[in-house]
Amino acid sequence: MKKVFLFSVVLVALSGCQKDHYDVIISQAKLYDGLGNAPIVTDVGIRADTIAFIGDLSGAAAPIIIDAKGLALAPGFIDAHSHHDRGMFGIRDMPACVSQGITTIVVGQDGGSEFPLSNFFKEIEATPVAVNVASYSGHNTLRDSVIIGNYQRVSSQAEIEQMKQMLRLDMEAGALGLSTGLEYDPGIFSDPAEVIELAKVAAEFNGRYISHIRSEDRYFWKAIDEIINIGKVTQMPVQISHTKLAMKSIWGQSEQLIKKLDSARAAGINLTADIYPYTYWSSTMTVLFPERNFKDRKEAEFALSELTTPEGLLIGNYSPDTSYIGKTLAEVSALRKTDAPKTLMDLIAEVESKNGDESIITTSMAEQDLATIMKWPYAGICSDGSGVGRHPRGYGAFSRVMRSYVRESKILTMEEAIRKMTSLTADNLGIRKRGRIAVGQFADLVLFDPEKISDQATPEKPQLPSVGISNVWVNGKEVFAMGKTTKVYPGKIIRREK
């Protein structure tokens, strides 16, 4: 009798073990599903790379059980417009990403991508990093390799055909679609017809289009029309990158922008956006001159009154004289004893003559516009940053949204902010198995303290990690815990889904 009883206990334990065994159990977390629903307190079981169970796991076993009482659990954040692939293979633990909860980066942005993508993907497979990587194929990259010599012109039909062929290769390798950076060289010299021809190739592959639009200031509305038209002609999803109204005379027009975007959507165009939570951008001095007339004093004066101010223009990098780094144009202007427009023109001339590097961080946007765009239900969050850049967005964009827009100004609820960082972006990219907490989804997860999550990075100290993030998992493996990266590299390539 006693023997039989013992035997049955063992059987129950064994079968229980098989049914209820998990690699990780996250217990009693406040779970945000990523879809914008109100949170529920529950347990989550991870098995291998997948979310295996959601619900009461109080009787279940796992080698790792995390007591998550008081903490929020969300799907890992997806960085919709990212440059975190810069220097990625030298910083495979990706501290800038995982310390703010990012588990997937979407690169190949602004028209710049690795070519061919098949090689880039092979490299990642050989040397994976801590986060997942998806990529677009970049128009500027294609244009750069096809146009020989003077690129300040429209492409010939033969050149367009070559670009289309290269784009096809990238689409076959798994590119999400075509990205453009139409404010940058050499894309700025393309005409809309060239972009449409290429976009049609991405559409043939069921791809999508994402764009740093042709102008974020002087020709803003025309640039918005261009991307809407691309969505209309190709019938594929189109997304405006790091949406901004970056000129004083168009500040306050964000409501009008949203109306325009909504009416495009109502007309059947799958138009979405992404945005980062700062009123200052980071790029080059030359981007202030769309006609590339760097010696035109009137243009310099316009840039320094309409697009920014000498005090609002911070030098991020300047190879001809590194002592200027961290100074504003106003400060450099005082040092050089030349007025601000002349200083700007001279700095560009010097960097061009020395074939050097420069970057600036420029205050150009109004907080009210940022808030209006951020509230748009189709605007996801991006960092536009990297782990090696001078702009604090590389380390702080996502945690800053939580601090500033959720906790402080209450512009977004926590569940809505999380939706914008997860399922919305996954939907905008056509990724089905990430971006939400549900059984069968990949276990990309972030556990954080909703009262403490915050950015710390500033333009002066752009690499200060965020605070309040407790643990981060990518494909079921812990990549961040106790304030440190774990030096495991479970990130996968995310190829375009059919």
Cβ atoms of 151 and 111 within 8 Å: the answer is no
Q: Using CA atoms, how far apart are residues 145 and 113, in angstroms rounded to an integer?
A: 12
Which residue spans within 3-84 are E strands per DSSP?
Answer: 24-31, 40-47, 50-55, 64-67, 72-75, 77-79
* Nearer CB in complex with Zn ion: 212/393: 212
Residue nearest to Zn ion (CB): 212
* Nearer CB in complex with Zn ion: 85/110: 110
Strands 177-181 and 137-138: parallel
- Rounded to 5, what percent of the chain is helix, strand, coil? 40, 20, 40
Cβ atoms of 299 and 316 within 8 Å: the answer is no
* Nearer CB in complex with Zn ion: 110/478: 110
- State the minimum distance, in angstroms, from the CB of residue 68 to Zn ion: 36
Look at residues 217, 238, 276, 245 and name the one whose alpha carbon lies nearest to residue 84.
276
Look at residues 234, 246, 115, 107 and name the one whose alpha carbon lies nearest to residue 181.
107
* Nearer CB in complex with Zn ion: 175/414: 175
Cβ-in-10-Å burial (0-12, 13-18, 19+) of 287 comes to buried
- State the minimum distance, in angstroms, from the CB of residue 49 to Zn ion: 32
CA 413 to the chain's CA centroid: 21
Cβ atoms of 274 and 242 within 8 Å: the answer is yes
Look at residues 205, 204, 203, 222 and name the one whose alpha carbon lies nearest to residue 214.
222
- State the minimum distance, in angstroms, from the CB of residue 361 to Zn ion: 14
* Nearer CB in complex with Zn ion: 381/474: 381
Look at residues 370, 314, 374 and name the one whose alpha carbon lies nearest to residue 80.
374
- State the minimum distance, in angstroms, from the CB of residue 214 to Zn ion: 12
* Nearer CB in complex with Zn ion: 110/369: 110
Give the tokens for residue 490.
């479970």
Tell me which residues touch Zn ion (CB under 5 A).
110, 212
- State the minimum distance, in angstroms, from the CB of residue 396 to Zn ion: 18
Q: Using CA atoms, how far apart are residues 280 and 333, in angstroms rounded to an integer?
A: 20
- State the minimum distance, in angstroms, from the CB of residue 315 to Zn ion: 19
Give the tokens for residue 487.
């030096």
- State the minimum distance, in angstroms, from the CB of residue 439 to Zn ion: 37
* Nearer CB in complex with Zn ion: 24/106: 106
* Terminal-residue alpha carbon distance, the chain: 60
* Nearer CB in complex with Zn ion: 182/366: 182
Give the tokens for residue 98.
């995982």
- State the minimum distance, in angstroms, from the CB of residue 73 to Zn ion: 32
Cβ-in-10-Å burial (0-12, 13-18, 19+) of 50 comes to middle
- State the minimum distance, in angstroms, from the CB of residue 242 to Zn ion: 5
- State the minimum distance, in angstroms, from the CB of residue 109 to Zn ion: 6
Helices (H), 116-219: 117-126, 139-146, 157-173, 192-204
* Nearer CB in complex with Zn ion: 216/416: 216
- State the minimum distance, in angstroms, from the CB of residue 257 to Zn ion: 17
Q: Using CA atoms, how far apart are residues 284 and 246, in angstroms rounded to an integer?
A: 14
